[in-house]
Amino acid sequence: MISNYIGFYALSFGLIISVLIIIKSIFFLKKNNEDKSKNFFSLLSSQFTLIIISFFSLIYSFVNSDFSNNTVFNHSHTTKPLFYKISGTWGNHEGSLLLWLLVLTFFILIFFLKSRNLKLSYRVFTIFFQQIIIFGFILFIIFTSNPFGILYPIPEQGLGLNPILQDPLLAIHPPILYIGYVGTSIIFSSSLAALVTRSMNQVWAKHIKKWIFASWIFLTLGIMLGSIWAYYELGWGGFWFWDPVENVSLMPWFCLTALIHTISVLEKRNMLQSWTFMLSIMTFSLSMSGTFLVRSGILNSIHTFANDPSRGLFILVFLFVLILLSIFIFFTYYENIKIRKIQFLFISKETSILLNNWFLMYFLSVVLIGTVYPIFLEAFTNEKISVGEPFYQKLITPFMVPFLILMALAPNIKWIKNKIEKLNIKILTLFIINLFLSFYIVKLTNTKYLFATLLITSAFFLFLISLRDVLNTNSLMSQRISHFAFSIFILSILFNSIFTKEFNSNMSVGDEMKFFNGTIKFLKINIYEENNYQNIKGTFKFKNSRNNNIYFEPEIRIYNQPNISTSEADIKTNLFTDNILNFNLINDKEYFSVRYQYKPLMFWVWISTFFIAFGGALTFIRKK
């Protein structure tokens, strides 16, 4: 009970401090006296402390199952294991926003401490813009999604956490993703500040690059964890459904990836300032629109969240205030960017990075348009359509071929150079060998995809070239590892989609089914009563053509709080293939619908994504 008040007042004081900092920074920037930075530090750190207090009092309420708290009542239950009580804190809308806020205040503090070598006015401007964001967020939390709502009389029991969310991966997925999202807010504020204070130069690029990389790494890992969760928990055998909620996290990722490349042009050659600026604004706007699209209930998605249109309206207005503010600032201070008449030579690293951005922006536009187009179509014409996987595949896959080839060749092009190297015979033969090899693979599998051959060729090409680069040089290791990992990633996805096999059937206990590469026997079912669910466990014996036996034990869980049943697939992962088996109740309960899936290289999809992010992380290690 008391923790409710503590949490709420700590949050409110956080809002007051936010106002104080905004006022103080305006005064400071008018007078421009350079020696009062200490006050900012104490204000920022006390704001951070208050939000920590607020966040921990919410955790405290969750751990103690304090059902006088509205959020706890709606999302927790006494029978839940302690681990999920804690992770339940950010497994819901209100708590997750508080986590956002926590990271926001933490990051601006870190930013302030880590930017000592830069102009004070730039730092204060960044704080100013960042506090506007924080101010908006606290208002949003207090007025539309207060996590400390009080219930009276106090209910005896909570409503429970959606069982599909009771998963260790989902406990760490949101924090990681949020660190990525919130990191983009620093990039946003900082580029606004840099434009206003004329400090958008090479020093700034070097400084903001770290933030860009950090956000990118966390966003990559966050997206990866999300798809691993979808793969294991939903048990449909897929890991990316082109669902709006997933697309929303992919959009800022494209922007950040473009930014990673562009910022090095700014760092090394001091150009592309305005493009860098626009990318920074776009990245953060897309992160925010993600929150808007997910939380407002405007989208129709497999990932259902509790929605409230008033929340949507608040974020929408707030988002557009920020966007208009940045447009206004861009047009007012545009002259601050010194436009140097620099040559962009056709064959140079600069141009290749522009090409990279060109493709990434195209991918972004496909995902963005595919995600929001149905909303607009309905708003203006009342027609409803669905945009799903076939759309994205048709528009993205053909463009992957030149993109991959570019990705293989570009890293070896020098800055400012304008000389086409002699057409490298080795590279050309390599390409042709790949072409034949891929044709062989496509023919062998009887795949109908027209682009498959070319796509595999270019992915192999990138694979071999980047492997050579990883082995040969020790400079720019981080980039080479990421590119190499990306080639493995694309190859794994390609082979996965080509070689995947599925088998569906209705079976009852004792049945045996023969299919393409083996037989499945339904041995038995056992029913257990667990702490907060009833568990129907089936045992299946799978015998493949090589006479190896695999025993599968998928489960159907019928939870009591809330009353939801989930199907837990049994996934046997090994280095080359995953074997998945799940089963589901059919209406009359005598038969079960059984699905067996053969999915190659799933492990490599995860491991390569990890290495893509790891490559980024190397930039931090190398500097020291």
Partner 1 sequence: MIKKKFNLILIIFIFSFIFLGLFLGLKKESYYVPKNFNTKKVINLKSKEFFSRKEIKLYDILKNDNLTIINIWASWCLPCREEHKYILALSKESNINLVGLNYKDKFSNAKKFIKKYGDPYDIILADTDGTNSIELGAYGVPETFVIENKKKKILKKYIGPLNKISFNEIKKIIKDENK
Partner 2 sequence: MKINKYFLILILFFLSQFTFVYGANKAELVDEISKNLRCLICQGQSIYDSNSDFAESMKILILRKISEGKNKKEIYEFLKSKYGDWIVYEPTFNKHTYFLWLLPLILFIFGGILILKKTLKVK
Pairwise CA distance, residues 577 & 14, whole Å: 51
Looking at the Cβ atoms of 307 and 447, the one nearer to partner 1 is: 307
Looking at the Cβ atoms of 67 and 495, the one nearer to partner 2 is: 495
533 Rama sector, left if φ>0, alpha if ψ -120 to 50, beta otherwise: beta
For 446-573, where are the alpha helices, taking DSSP H only?
452-472, 477-499
By CB under 8 A, what part of segment 570-589 binds partner 1? 587-588
Give the total of residues touching partner 2 (CB under 8 A): 69
Q: Cα angle vertex 10, ends 112, 84, to 5°? A: 95
> Among partner 1, partner 2, none, what binds residue 433 when CB lies within 5 to 8 Å by partner kind?
partner 2
Looking at the Cβ atoms of 106 and 503, the one nearer to partner 2 is: 503
**In 10 A of CB 394, how many CB atoms?**
11
Closest CA to 189 of 204, 206, 174: 204
CB-based burial label for 569 (10 Å; 0-12, 13-18, 19+) = buried
357, 262 contact by CB (below 8 A): yes
At its nearest, how many Å lie between partner 2 and the CB of residue 587?
Answer: 6
Pairwise CA distance, residues 374 & 383, whole Å: 8
Pairwise CA distance, residues 114 & 122, whole Å: 13
Which range, of 10-18, 168-176, 408-416, 436-444, touches partner 2 by CB under 8 A? 436-444
> Among partner 2, partner 1, none, what binds residue 152 when CB lies within 5 to 8 Å by partner kind?
none
By CB under 8 A, what part of segment 385-404 binds partner 2? 385-391, 394-395, 399
By CB under 8 A, what part of segment 329-348 binds partner 2? 341, 343-346
300: contact with partner 1 by CB under 8 A: yes
143: contact with partner 1 by CB under 8 A: no
Task: Mention every residue, 6+ apart, whose C-beta is less than 8 A from residue 129.
Answer: 188, 189, 192, 193
331: contact with partner 1 by CB under 8 A: yes
Pairwise CA distance, residues 499 & 497, whole Å: 6
607, 491 contact by CB (below 8 A): no
What residue has token string 């400084």? Answer: 207
Which range, of 35-43, 80-88, 193-201, 294-302, touches partner 1 by CB under 8 A? 294-302
564: contact with partner 2 by CB under 8 A: no
91, 171 contact by CB (below 8 A): yes
By CB under 8 A, what part of segment 375-394 binds partner 1? 375-376, 378-380, 384
> Among partner 2, partner 1, none, what binds residue 331 when CB lies within 5 to 8 Å by partner kind?
partner 1
Which residues in this chain contact partner 1 in the complex, by CB under 8 A? 292, 296-300, 309, 312-313, 316, 320, 323-324, 327, 331, 334, 372, 375-376, 378-380, 384, 587-588
Which residues in this chain contact partner 2 in the complex, by CB under 8 A? 236, 238, 243, 300-304, 341, 343-346, 351, 354-355, 358, 361-362, 365-366, 369-370, 373, 377, 381, 383-391, 394-395, 399, 426, 429-430, 433, 437, 441, 444-446, 464, 467-468, 471, 495, 499, 501-502, 504, 516-517, 545, 567, 576-577, 584-587, 593, 598, 600
